[in-house]
Structure formats: C-alpha cells, structure tokens
Structure 1
Amino acid sequence: MSRVATARLLRCAAVAWLVVCGAAMASPVTPAWSLLPQPAMAKAAGSGVVQVADGAIVRVHGPDQPEVQRIAERLVQRLADTHALHLRTTTTDAAHPTITFEMDAGADIADASGYRITVDDEGIRVTARTPRGAFYGSVTLWQLLTPPGWARGKPVDVAYGVIDDHPRFAWRALLLDSGRHFQSVADIKKLIDWMSLNKLNVLLWHLTEDQGWRLEIPKYPALTTIGACRKAVGLDAELTGSTEQPYCGYYTEAQARDVVRYAAERYVDVVPEFDLPGHSQAAIAAYPSLGVTGARPPVWTDWGVSPWLLKPDEKTLQFVDDVLDEMMQLFPSRYISIGGDEADKQQWNASAETRARMQRLGLANMDELQAWFMQQVAEHLLKHGRIPVGWDDELAAGVTLPQSQVVMSWHGDHNERVALAALKQGHDVIMTPQESLYFDHIQSDLPDEWAGPPPAVTLQQAYDTAVVPQGASADEARHIIGVQAGLWAEQMRSFAHDQHAVFPRIAALAELGWSPAEAHDWNGFLQRMPAELARYRALGIDYADSAFAPSFQVSAASRGTLRVELFNQSHFGTIRYTTDGSDPTNQSTRYTQALTLTGPVTLRAATFASDGFELAAPRTQVVDETALQARDGSALETCSHQPGSRLDGSKPAKGPRPTYSVDIGNACWSWPQAPVGGVTHVSLLVERIAWRFGDEARDAVVRNKAGAAGEFEIHGDSCTGPLLARLPLDGVTHAQGQHRLDAKVAMPPGSDVRDLCIFATGDPRDGQWALARVTLSK
C-alpha cells in the first residue's frame, strides 16, 4: 500500500472510530460494539442485526481450509466455554450459514494480519488474505458475540456494519520471566491463549537468570542439574515445603518444542532470551570456568544485580555459540534475545586477565569490552539467519551496540533519551519502558494491593505510554517495530499473581500495539473495559480490579461524627455501598457525596458498570472511634519519602496472606499529623522478612540497638525527636509470621496532633522488618 493510501486509511479509521465510540465519551451509554483493541476502522450501519443462536452454522470457504477450519473450531469451542452458545462448523456449501470465513489471497486488506468483518443481511463474513488474519478476525468476532451485558446461552444480536482492521505494529509482546520463578507448561499455555485473544503475537521467554537456568541443553547437563536449583530462601520455602528442599525447575527440549508448537497455532512467536554477559550466576555455578574468578558461586537466592559475569574470552564464546545453536533448533523465531542488561563489571575490573584482554583489543573501558563481546554473539546469530535482540543498557552507557541488533528500550526516563539514541543510530526499537510497561510493578496504593516493586504502574499509565518518543523524526519513528510489557518474576511466586499483574493492563498494551494512534482515547477505552473484564471473567482469568476498587478517606466531622469519602483510581463506574456489613449489589445505595456516619458502622463499597457488571469486588472500612487512630502500614509514608515496595509476608494458618509496604533497607515509617491527644498506649503488628535484596544491601540503614534483640521505637516530631515509646523485639526476631507489640506511650503535653516516626533498630540485612499496622489508644 502507498503512503498516501495508508494515510487516507488512517484518517478514515479515526473518523469511523468516533462514529462507533464517540457517544460513549459524551455519555455513560456503552457502545453496541465493545471491541478491544480498537479496530483500525469500525463503522456500524445504524440499523439491522444478525442474530446468532444455538445451532448457527459457521462455514469455512477458500484456500487453507484445514488451518482456517481449526481457527473456526477454536472459536466455536471458546463460545461454548464462555457463552454456552453452541455453533456448528462446516466446509461444505451450507444453505444459510450465519457466519462465513472467506479466505481470499487477493482481497483488498491492508496487512497479512488484517481482516474484514461484514455484517449484513447475508450474515457475518470474516474475510482475510491469510490464516493469521482469519484468526484475528475470529477474535474480534468472539468479542462481537460477547457484547456488554451478554447472558450465557442467550442469542446475540450483532449490529450491521463493517470492520476493516490490521495491526499498527508487528511486535506486540509480553516478556515472561521464568528464571526467578518457574511457571508450568500448562500455565504458560493458558497465558499464550489469553495473549492471543488480546492480539499479542510475541512471547519473549526469559529462560536464563542468576536465580536459575531453565532450559535443557544436552551438551551442558550441569546447567540444569546444578543451575536450575537454588536454596529455598524466604517464602520460596512455602513453595518447596521446607528450607531444606531447594527451589528447582527447568523445561526439557520436548517441553520447549511443545510450547513453541502451541503458540504457533495461536499465531504467537516464542522468542527465547539467553541473557549475557550478566544475569549469568546460575550458568557459572554450573561451570565455574565461565566466570573470571574460577570460583563456583551458589545459584543466587537474592534479587537485584549480581556481579557474576561471563568471562569475555573465546572459550566462553564457544559455550554461548553452543547454547544458541541449541536454541535455534528449538525456537524457529527470526529473533533471538541476547540480553546485555545490568552487567555489573566489578569482577571484570578486578581481573588482570580481563583488563589485559581489553587492552589487547584496543578498547577504552569495560563497557566497550561488553560491546565487543556482544558483537561476536550477534555475528553468530546473523550467520545463521537470525536477528539479535537486546536491551538498551550499553546505549545508556554511551557505547554503540551491534548495528544489526533490535533494541528493547526499557530506560524510559528523561523523555526516552535512550530510545531516541537507538533510533538515531538506525536500530529497530521495541518500546518497553519500565515506568509504564513493567507489569511486575504495583498497580495502586490500596491496602490490599499485591506484592511488587514501586512506583505504581496504573492502568492509565500503561495506556498512556508514549510509543513514539517526542523528538523522533518521521523516518526514525518507522524504526519503532512494536511495544512490549515485562513480567519480571522476583515476587511472582504463583500463576495467580501472574494473572493479577498482567490483567487488565494487557488490554492497554494490546491497544498500544494494535490500534491506530488516532484512536487513542482513555475515556473510550474505559467505556469498553466492562465487556472486556466480563470476557476475562468468563475465561477464568483472575484479573486485578485495582483501577476500579473503592478507596476510603476517613476524617473527623462535627459532634463526634466521621466523614467518609469514596473514590477510585480511574474515576469510572458507579460506587454503591451498604452500612450493615453486607455485600453491595447494583441495587445498593449509590455514592454521590461524602457520608457523615456515627460509628460503629461496617461500610462496604463496590464499583459497578452502567449495565450492572461488578467492576471491583467489595472493600470494607470499619467506621468507629478507632478509625482515626489506626493506620495500615501501606497508609504510612516512608521516612525516605520514596514509594515503598510491596512485600509478601508468611501465609498464616487462617486468613489471607499479608502484604506490606516497605522501604527495603530502611525499616522506618512516618505518620504525619497523627491524632495523639489523650493517647496512652500503642500497638504494632510487625513481621520480619528474610533479607534477599541483593544490591539494596549497600544502601541499608543501620540503627543502634538499645537491647540485644533490637526494638521498634516511636519518636515525636522527627526520627530524632522525643522518644515516645520503645517496643522490644525479645523473643520474636526468629519467629515466623506476624507479632503484636504493645507499649505505653510517654506523650509530652502539647498539640493533639503530632508527626510520628516509627522505626526498627538493628541491621535490616539480618532481617527486614515490616509494619502491618499501628494503633494508638487512650
């Protein structure tokens, strides 16, 4: 297609999108077609529908019948599973098919991944040039058949109209880290299924790490006999059953091929990542000669950046070539990722042999030595017809990467300066900024937010990712080949956590990667989210509702009453509440203004879409005389004023697992303007978490202990202000789970409000204290 024709199509797409979704931005009415990602062009006819009911016939016509037949059959199965609608497929000339898949290699469709859906008095026709296009058409058709408010087993009316669609970018990816925590093949297949239903087409599979080598390489058996296991430190012991039972896992060659085959059937390309020269401690644990010291380290149990790098010499390069040769046998993808990120060069700098090599090569520093090493690896891939992919770290350090390398740009700071540098050097670039597309990051500051690093990556922040950096020229922008989200698994110990982290932010990623730039609109996206969340629920996806969950703000009102304000992160949906402790329904009282309550009241609130769909599960706030004098740890500030990491605690015998907000290495919290009038007692709920935070150790804050076991101290006004309470830790420093500490408060006379500083003494590297809750009482 010519540039003129492409521009014309994009202008039409923008107009058509407004026709379909513009009303949704002006009113709470959900559009009849609730499609996500938004198609390039979608235009409803204004009248007429095709009804799809049990027994409807789906006909496949044209070339590639076996492959397209499988696509149609998977659509039929998906409808049966999610909607309880039972359709029938055929390749014969049925008299009156309701749905037809028409394959036409010469069709006027913009892209090999594109399709056209026509709904008129002849039924529903999905036209595509390739089976891949037919697959994406089937995904959109499934969405048409699961409109807002659909009821299981009931016929669906699909409005007349035309959808002409194709992707904006060729690379629409999710990175899955299997190095830190291991996922089963069955769970990876589920993730691939769900990715494909969001029109993502690349799974970047992170298979080698400091914490575990996860791919069988027959020529180097110790990579899995040694490198795939680490000691079960901290909460890993819950997964293995004991601190004596190591945490292990790897994928056999047969399993890798099975994942690749399964993904290919869903038009997802599996790109393996062999991270080097850093993130290699597990490989060096298996084969110490790969490192510069000759020593055998353990497989790492910490998080962060390890200093164990591969030795940059010919023997190591032969090992790398051997592993890549095996990967190329297992993974037919055009692309292979070779990492290149977070290479801490302290061991290289300390090695006389490595310094001598750098000098012999005429290189100025160790960054240039890494660039030389990566160039050798890239040339091996190019020789075998593969394209190297790697991270942008060396560009950030000012070193030129191999010209052939596709750059994954994760340093999104300073207005994407590193991505711009990559574009100016002529690299193809994949945008994956950690600030908005690292899905391991927390999603909110809710008290029940799951574990993850800060800062928060909200649904809106993900949606508003700048895919084309400001300042890129038109020619440079053409080198942006796609977008990618990262699911780094330090804290993703279960597949439930994976789902919570990925969904629904994957919907934002899908729209960034597929939809035209002109269609980008946060309000329109929100209007289409209820139907998408209903589909996730029907698929069995345990998604996060953080963007829609009610939050409570409690403050003092007149005459002993309390004022409670309700809101949510996205400012979308209707919040409804009850005051008797029961679960709200879509018929419960609608929140319209701040509530004035006299306790004790158990206030429960949930958020609903306009069609009654529950966007967020109920949350609870007990409103009583203690509501102002107690704070969850996540509601306190850190003393460094940096956002806290959310860390999981031990699972109790009963109830949910606690999650804490912690400034790692600095066990210190601030409660500004705490209500201290008349307070005589304080209670803390605390837990000690195993230290496994790697390079955070260098910034750990050590505070002098008054007793041998240490204590929590509470100071007024500042952390060096008057000591108000001391709560000894005798007997609890080595015990598992939460512990309650109580003490009297020596409150000096003065104001009824005071800033409080709460901290643990001792060295956090001996065990990081977390604060669950602080309660003041009279």
Structure 2
Amino acid sequence: MIKKSILKTLALGFLSIFSGVSNAQNTADYQVVPIPMEITQNQESPFELSRETKIVTGDDSQIMRRNAGFLQQYIKQQTGIETIIATKGEGSRIVLQTGLKSDSPEAYEINVSSDVITVTGASEAGVFYGIQTLRKSIPVKKTATITFPSVKIKDAPRFSYRGMMLDVARHMFSVEEIKTFIDMLSLHNINKFHWHLTEDQGWRIEIKKYPRLTEIGSMRKETVIGRNSGRYDGETYGGYYTQEEIKEIVKYASDQHITIIPEIDMPGHMLAALSAYPELGCTGGPYEVWTQWGVSEDVLCVGKDQTLKFVEDVLNEVMDLFPSEMIHIGGDECPKSRWKECPSCQAKIKELGLEADDHHSAEERLQSHFISQVEKIINDRGRKLIGWDEILEGGLAPNATVMSWRGMSGGIEAAKQGHDVVMTPNSHVYFDHYQSTDVSRDPLAIGGYSPVERVYSLEPVPSVLSKKQRKHILGAQANLWTEYIPVFEHAQFMVLPRMAALSEVQWMEPENKNYEDFLQRLLKLIEIYKINDYNYARHIFDLNAEFVPNAKDNTIDVYLSSLTNGDIFYTLNGTAPVKHSPKYKGVIKVNKDADVMAKTYFNEESSRVFSESISFNLATTKPIKSLQPVDKQYGYDGISTLVDGLKGNNNYRTGRWIAFRGNDLKAVIELGSEPVTIREAALTTNVVKGDWIFDVRQFEVLVSDDGKNFRTVASRDFDPLQRSDSDGIKNHVLRFDPVEARYVKIIGESEKSMPEWHGGAGLPGYLFVDEIVIK
C-alpha cells in the first residue's frame, strides 16, 4: 500500500531540481526508486540529522558494523555530514537492528521519530535495503542538517531473485570497474550479479589445472570492426581475472549482500577453450579465439569422456571460488552440425540409444544428456544448475533452473514442468539494445529497441500460469552483452537509467507501479548517479512525440511532451528550433510533407533536438482495416502504423514496423467518399534473416468501389530468399494502368516455411512491414 498523500507532499522538494523552484528546506524525500510498499505519516516532530547523530548497531556483528559503515559513507558523500558509529548511544541516533518477523529475509521497517530513526531488518540484508532507502531519500546537497519527516515505512521485495548480467568475455573491465558495477547494483536493490566469464571470443577466469585457458584462450589476435564488417583492428585484445582477484570481487559483492553467479558457457560458445585444448573439439582443430561476433559452429565434443572430465575439473575450481548456490552453465546457441559429422558424438548417441522424434533430434537429446551429467557434477557439490532456455531442448535436466531469454515461452514451459525460472526476455531487458529510435546519435549497439518505458512494462509472471506454477518464477534479470561495448563508461551508459526501471520490476508489486510517477522519482536518483560519476543515458530528457493519423481532418496530429515540463519550440521545415521558433501549444496538425523538429529548455539546459519526417500520399491518414491479425509481440500501434506518414529505419523494434507471422498482411484502405484515380502502390519491408524476418513472397493490389467486390490490378511473386541475399529495408513498387477506386486492398504474403539453409528451416518467418504508399 502506498500512502499517496504524504508521498506527494514529500516529493515537492526534489522536483525543484529540474523545475527551477527554490528548495528552501533540506528535507528527506521517501519517494525513492524503488518506492517502498507502505509509507505512513506519524504524528511526531521530524528527526534532524547532524554531525551529532550516531549510527548505532543493535548487535555488534561484523556484518552490522559494515552496514553502518555504508550508511555513514552515503551520508557524508551526499551531504558532507560526518556521523559517528557506536554500539550504543542516546540522543540523535540511527539504530540498525535485526529481529523483524517476515517471510522475506530482505524485508525491513523504518520508524522515524523526533530523536531516533530505527531500521529493523528481517536479516542483515534487510537492514542493508532499509539503509538504501534512507540513502536515496537524503538530498544531494552539502549542508549541516537534514530533516526527516516522521514516518513508518514497511517494505519487502516481490522477488527473491533480482539479477543483472554482465558479459566480460567479449570485452572485459578492470577489477575496480567491476566493483563500481557492484556498487551500482546495490544502489538499485539488485541482489544477484550474473557474471558471464567465458565465450568464443575470450576466457576470463584463471583455472589452475588448465593454464592454457588463460595463456591462450584469454587473448584474441584482433577484433572485428563494427557488425562483422570483414575489417579488423589488428590489435591484440585480452586479459583475465586471477583467482585472487575473483575472491576479492566475491567478497566485495558479499559485503553488499550481492551473490555472484558465475557462468561458464557450454557446450557451445567454447571456441576460446578449444583454442587452448583442441583435443576437446570434434575436429581436433586447429582453433583460434574468435575475432568476430556471433555463434561458432565449433563446440565441445560431448562424445568424448575427456570432455566431461575437463568440465568437471573447471566447475570444481569455479565452485571453490564462488559460494553461490546457483552455477550457470549457459547451454544456449549450441549448433549441432559438428556433432552430426563427429564419429565420437554419433557413437555416444548410439551407445545411449538416443533417437529423434517429432520434437527433438538425436543431437538435441545428446545435449540434454550432457547437461544432465553436468548437473550431477554441480549437485554433488550441493549446488544447483541454471542455464538459458535452450536447456529445455531435448528434455530438461531434473533439477535445473531455466533463464528464459527468447521471450517468455521457455520460462512458461519450464514453470509448467515444475522448474524454477528467472525471466529475462530479450524483448524487454537486453540492455545491449538501443534506448532510442534515433540510433544515428547513439553509440553502436547490437540492434533492438528497449527504452526505459519498455523495461518498466515487463511483468515477469505470465498470467497464463496457474497459482501453483507462478511460484516457480523466482524473479527477473537484465543482461548486458558487450560485443559493441569496449569501455566501462559505455557499459554504464547502456544500463543507466534502465537499471532503475528494472529495480521497480524486481522489487515492487505490479499494482503499485506507475511509470509517470517513476520518472519523477528517477530525477532524484540521477543526482546520486552524478555524485558517483556514473555515465548515464539522458534519453528520458528527450522529447516524447506521438503521431496520430486523423482521417476526419486528413492530418497527422503531433503531440509533444517532456519530463521536465519546460517550454517546447518546434519547426516544420527542417531547421533547428530556437527560443524564437513557434511554441508548442497542445497539438500540431500537419497536412503535407514536413520535417518536424522540436526542442525543450529547462533549468538553463536543453534537450536534444527531436526530428521526424512526415510524408503524405493518398493512403496517409485514411481509415485502414486489417483482415488478418497483427503479431501480438510486434503489434505496437496496430494496422494504422501503415498509414501514419512515418518511415521506419533498420531497427525493426522501434514501433514504426508491425509484423505478421504464420499469416499475411491483408488490409483495406478507404481512400475517400468519391473514387480516386491511382496508378501505383508500394510496400516497405524490413529483412533480418538472422532474426527470422523474411521478405514478402507475394505483393498484390486490388481495388473496389464498394469495399466488398475487389478486382486485382497488379500482382508480383517473389522467389524465396537465399542465404547470400542482403538484409535491410526493401521497397516494393507495383505500377499499373490508371484506375479509379474508393477502396484499395493490399496483400503481402509472408514466408510460411523458412528455407533449408536457415536455422529455423520449415518454420514460418516474420514479415515486417511499414508504410503503404499509394499514388
């Protein structure tokens, strides 16, 4: 329960940071990220924090003294006030203690009265999260005193697993940078650090029994430039963490109540290991650490007994270093082509009596057998196996936990089978995706589109699960893969402030979430980013624009808004707006081709310039009806997207494109109350074969006078795509003899069965379409 009345009052002081209102009082604001479950006002005088305030540990354990040290550090950093740590005390004091009764060990309560703030946790971790709430409520301002309004706060996390993954195999970061990343996790109440340590492109953890893993496997001779351009930088890249460094990092995380879950990816993504020990592969090599991105065909040979021995030795050293109950073994993206040709793997399939059926190949069943053997190694040490959702293929290992990344379906299936699940769908929480549709002004990313709002919208518990099955959803996690992230400042830019949105998904009950409210609370958190020198993305300060086709007025209605509520100025001719440009006053009605540009000013700063082009044709703004359903995952604003005057770029996730899969684009556009002469129709598609997105197979244009009886005026069939055909935006134009029509039907047939050369052979592909142009 959130007591809105008091929260609204307490928030006013911090909103002044960006609104320009004078902040006369140094008052704590409990509207933090994530916001506590319940905040109730007490009828007492406020508490005043000063240099006379003591931080008192209710029990004198090392953990509680460390908790007190964190609070002392936060207060000094944000305010300059130096407090005192003591085991007992009177007068102005903050008391840290355990003893709270709760089902969650991370629950806490905060009681603020005139002379004491008491933080009571169900465990030392609960106390730590209470400290985080206090920390985030304190103004970032050098001052002699801070006033805390008298309240009672009750809080506990929704999920026990609140994770963030960092890939250090493609690009790695220093020990100090990893520690900074851990600091960022604790600020956001994240308690699991999933550390991706090995890949085709580099092995980053010292294994004493296999020294060549780091001597050879940690170094690649060069790195591809851009997205597998075929050009390379010619510079050796690599490095690894020694076991002593790993112990240091594990302790650093543990001190902040964060568990590090190591990942040793297998049986695929093992080319770095094969380069060091080629006898573990199916072909025997030679292999080299991969210098490009993607998925290598060369994987561990699971038909050899020595491979399992290698895995056992590596995992035992890993488990000696990491006390985590969960050990991640990857299990994703493992091509089976080598296994199909490998005598050892085929002999193992025969020995085990593995057979293909309608659902799984013999090789998939071989992978399942291997994963089950690995699980036994992990279980024998009292640990639990966790892996990506591909470990479902061929049958799931008995006690495995599934990390569902290819959407939610893998997690749903695992939960129905009674397995625990962590939801990390690439549709919402892959932080290597772009944060803006304006990709030309952002650093190079892998693709995709996952802005703060989409992260915030994630609901990790699917409604299709039963009450019993929902209990298997342990929590949620976001992932940062680093193919295109060579330096730590870039990594920070990619995760902040999306990590703040993630924290509310992980911590709060869904009925308490509110995105607009979150954005206002985020402003204060950003002040903490600043004093810690965290490099955060500033897209939330960009203008938001909504383009609405208005068939009645034959206009595209443009609505602009900003988080800061400053004045917005715009132009329609492609020139940069200034303070003397027209001021936005509620809606901009556009009825012809225009280049919309807009900018807002706030607190002596300004946003980036927003830019969007609108192109009109006979179909623009006209009523359109879809005769077949749009794909639910990629439906966005629906069929009206095809007549909104806006063109999509190469990124198919921006909302400018809509998709069909297993069915076709069939849409009818009403051109007007009187017949219109037309001679040309065009359809734009976006092809990304690696993401199962194919081109149209047939494009047909039909016309009608009554909207019921249609006749074809143009049609074209397209050959199946070949592996060598280029990806990208395709513009298909059909020209025909002039004809009068009131209604135009557009048919675009999708790829119903992807070709044999494709990894999804036989399955339907996606058809992504954008603007329909009629002339």
TM-score (norm 1): 0.71
What amino acid is the match of 1:432?
T
Higher RCO by CA contacts (8 Å cutoff, separation 6 or greater): 1
Q: How far is the alpha carbon of 1:256 from its aligned partner? A: 0.9
1:541 to 534, 539, 543: 534
- Structure 1 unaligned residues grouped into runs of 5+: 1-13, 556-562, 624-634, 646-661, 670-696, 704-711, 722-778
Q: Structure 2 matches for 1:280-359, cutoff 5 A? A: 280-312=270-302, 313-359=304-350
Residue 101 (structure 1) aligns with = 95
Tell me which of 164, 186, 189 is aligned to 1:196: 186
2:75 counterpart (79, 93, 109): 79
CA displacement, residues 564-612 of structure 1 (integer Å, 9 cap, x when unaligned): 96736xx643143579999999xx978655499xxxx99873465xxx5
1:635-654 CA distance string (max 9 Å, x none): 96458977699xxxxxxxxx
In structure 2, the partner of 1:59 is 55
Cα separation, partners in 2 of 1:617 and 1:484, compared to 1, 3 Å: same
Q: For the structure 1 residues 120 and 252, does the alpha-carbon distance in structure 2 shift closer, same or farther, using more than 3 Å as the test?
A: same
State yes or no: 1:407 paired with 2:402. yes
Q: CA deviation at 1:448?
A: 1.7
**TM-aligned CA distance change 1:255 to 1:589, over 3 Å:** farther
SS at structure 2 position matched to 1:220: coil
Q: Distance in 2 between matches of 1:640 and 1:132?
A: 41
Contact 1:550 1:566 in 2 (8 A): no
Q: Distance in 2 between matches of 1:70 and 1:363?
A: 54
Does structure 2 retain, via aligned residues, the 8 Å contact 1:440–1:487? yes
Q: Secondary structure at the match of 1:90?
A: strand
State the distance in 1 between where 2:32 and 2:651 align.
Answer: 44
Per-residue deviation at 1:356?
2.0
SS at 2:541 equivalent: coil
Once the two structures are superposed, residues 142-196 of structure 1 have per-residue CA deviations (whole angstroms, 9 ceiling, x without a partner) of: 11213xxx53336332211111112211111101101111111111110100101
Identify the residue that residue 371 of structure 2 maps to in structure 1.
374
Offset at residue 95 of structure 1 (A) = 3.3
**1:567 maps to 2:560:** yes
Q: Deviations over 1:610-664 (max 9, x none)?
A: xx597x74437799xxxxxxxxxxx96458977699xxxxxxxxxxxxxxxx977
> Greater shift after overlay, 543-552 or 533-542?
543-552
Once residues 91 and 303 of structure 1 are traced to their aligned partners in structure 2, the CA distance between those partners, rounded to angstroms, is 54
**1:417 equivalenced with 2:405 (yes/no):** no
1:234 is matched with: 224
Query: Considering only aligned residues, what root-mean-square deviation do their CA atoms show, in Å?
Result: 4.4
Aligned partner of 1:249 in structure 2 is 239
Q: In 2 relative to 1, CA 221–32 (structure 1 residues): closer, same or farther, beyond 3 Å?
A: closer
Contact 2:437 2:654 (C-alpha < 8 Å) held by counterparts: no
Residue 17 of structure 1 and its aligned partner are, at CA, apart by 4.6
Q: Cα 1:245–1:123, aligned 2, differ >3 Å: closer, same or farther?
A: same
Q: How far apart in 1 are the matches of 2:504 and 2:612?
A: 39
Deviations 1:298-325 (A, max 9, x none): 2112222211110112100000000001
Q: Give secondary structure in 1 for the equivalent of 2:414.
A: helix
Distance 1:372 1:526 in 2: 47
Question: Aligned-pair distance for 1:457?
Answer: 0.9
Call closer, same or farther: CA 1:155–1:483 in 2, change over 3 Å. Answer: same
Q: Aligned equivalents of 2:366 and 2:445: distance in 1? A: 34
Shift of 1:50: 2.1
How far apart, in 2, do the equivalents of 1:534 and 1:639 lie?
34
For the pair 1:212 / 2:206, whether they are aligned, the reply is no
Partner of 1:278, secondary structure, is coil
| 2:570–2:577 Cα contact (<8 Å) kept | no
Q: Matched residues in 1 for 2:146 and 2:584: separation?
A: 30
Helix, strand or coil for the counterpart of 2:165? strand
Residue 161 of structure 1 pairs with residue 157 of structure 2:
no
Q: Which AA in structure 1 matches 2:299?
A: L
**Which residue of structure 2 aligns with residue 143 of structure 1?**
136
- Equivalent residues in 2 for 1:322-721, closer than 5 Å: 322-364=313-355, 365-395=362-392, 397=393, 399-412=394-407, 416-446=408-438, 447-550=440-543, 567=560, 572-577=563-568, 594=588, 605-606=599-600, 608=602, 617-619=607-609, 637=648, 699-701=723-725, 718=732
Amino acid of the residue matched to residue 80 of structure 1? Answer: K
Q: Given the superposition, is the C-alpha separation of residues 426 and 639 from structure 1 closer, same or farther in structure 2, using an over 3 Å criterion?
A: closer
Cα drift, residue 39 of structure 1: 1.5
Q: Structure 1 residues 95, 188: closer, same or farther in 2, change over 3 A?
A: same
Cα 1:179–1:408 shift into 2, 3 Å: same
Tell me which amino acid in the other structure corresponds to 2:406: H
Q: CA deviation at 1:85?
A: 2.6
User: 1:222–1:24: structure 2 CA closer, same or farther, 3 Å change rule?
Assistant: same
Q: How big is the shift at 1:63? A: 1.6
In the other structure, the counterpart of 1:183 is 173
Closer/same/farther in 2, CA of residues 489 and 607 from structure 1, 3 Å limit: farther
Q: Which residue identity lines up with residue 101 of structure 1 in the other structure?
A: V
TM-superposed CA distance for 1:376, in Å, is 0.5
How far apart, in 1, do the equivalents of 2:202 and 2:161 lie? Answer: 27
**Deviation digits for residues 35-93 of structure 1 (CA, Å, limit 9, x no counterpart):** 1112122223377422324x141322322443322222222222322x23313123154
Residue type at the aligned position of 2:372: Q
What amino acid does structure 1 have at the position aligned with 2:54?
V
User: Within 1, Cα distance between the matches of 2:558 and 2:247?
Assistant: 54
Q: Take 1:475 and 1:720, find their aligned partners in 2: how far apart are those partners?
A: 54
Aligned residue pair count:
622
Distance in structure 2 (CA, Å) of the matches to 1:211 and 1:435: 25
Offset at 1:485?
A: 0.6
What is the CA-CA distance between 1:551 and the residue it aligns to? 6.1
Are the aligned partners of 1:49 and 1:160 in contact in 2 as well (CA < 8 Å)? yes
Q: Is the 8 A contact 1:109 1:116 kept in 2?
A: no
The separation in 1 between residues aligned to 2:244 and 2:380, in whole angstroms, is: 26
2: distance between equivalents of 1:454 and 1:63? 50
Q: Would the alpha carbon gap of residues 23 and 469 (structure 1) be closer, same or farther in structure 2, given more than 3 Å must change?
A: farther
Secondary structure, aligned partner of 2:118: strand
Any conservation in 1 of the 2:459–2:505 contact (CA below 8 Å)? no
Counterpart residue identity of residue 268, structure 1: I
How has the CA–CA distance of structure 1 residues 96 and 428 changed in structure 2, closer, same or farther, with 3 Å as cutoff? Answer: same
Shift of 1:258: 1.1
How far apart are 1:534 and its partner, in Å?
A: 2.0
TM superposition shift of 1:533: 1.9
Q: Describe the SS at the equivalent of 2:214.
A: helix
Contact 1:410 1:431 in 2 (8 A): yes
2:628 maps to none
Cα separation, partners in 2 of 1:165 and 1:177, compared to 1, 3 Å: same
One-letter amino acid of the structure 2 residue matched with residue 86 of structure 1 = I
Alpha-carbon distance in structure 2 between the residues aligned to 1:493 and 1:719: 42
TM-score in terms of structure 2 length: 0.71
